[in-house]
């Protein structure tokens, strides 16, 4: 028989009934994901992708009427 400690806070159930993780599981998952993706974050961004992202930022800034991330006219 499993007896729960009445002083241990129970995780709140989401209103939509979907499953949740307790704090320890979230911490463990966070550490695992950081370790998994750390090598990816250390890699340099492909220059072609970087240029596309800069172009997207410039286009977005022009659409919003402000200067781009590299200043006006860039």
pLDDT in tens, 12-61: 666 777 888 899 999 999 999 999 999 988 888 899 999 999 999 999 99
Instruction: Please list, residue by residue across 36-55, b when 16 or more beta carbons sit within 10 angstroms of its beta carbon and e when fewer do.
Output: eeeeeeeeeeeeeeeeeeee
Q: Does residue 50 lie within any of the structural domains?
A: yes
Q: Does residue 24 lie within any of the structural domains?
A: no
pLDDT at residue number 9 = 60
Q: Does residue 37 lie within any of the structural domains?
A: yes
pLDDT at residue number 23 = 93
pLDDT at residue number 1 = 46
pLDDT at residue number 19 = 82
Round to whole Å and give the CA distance between 63 and 25: 43
Q: Does residue 49 lie within any of the structural domains?
A: yes
Q: Does residue 59 lie within any of the structural domains?
A: yes
């Amino acid at each position: 028989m499993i007896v729960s400690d009445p002083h241990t806070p129970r995780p709140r159930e989401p209103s939509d009934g979907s499953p949740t993780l307790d704090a320890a599981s979230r911490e463990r998952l966070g550490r695992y994901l950081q370790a998994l993706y750390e090598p990816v974050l250390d890699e340099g961004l492909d220059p072609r992708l970087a240029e596309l992202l800069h172009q997207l930022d410039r286009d977005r800034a022009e659409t919003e009427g402000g200067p781009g991330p590299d200043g006006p006219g860039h």
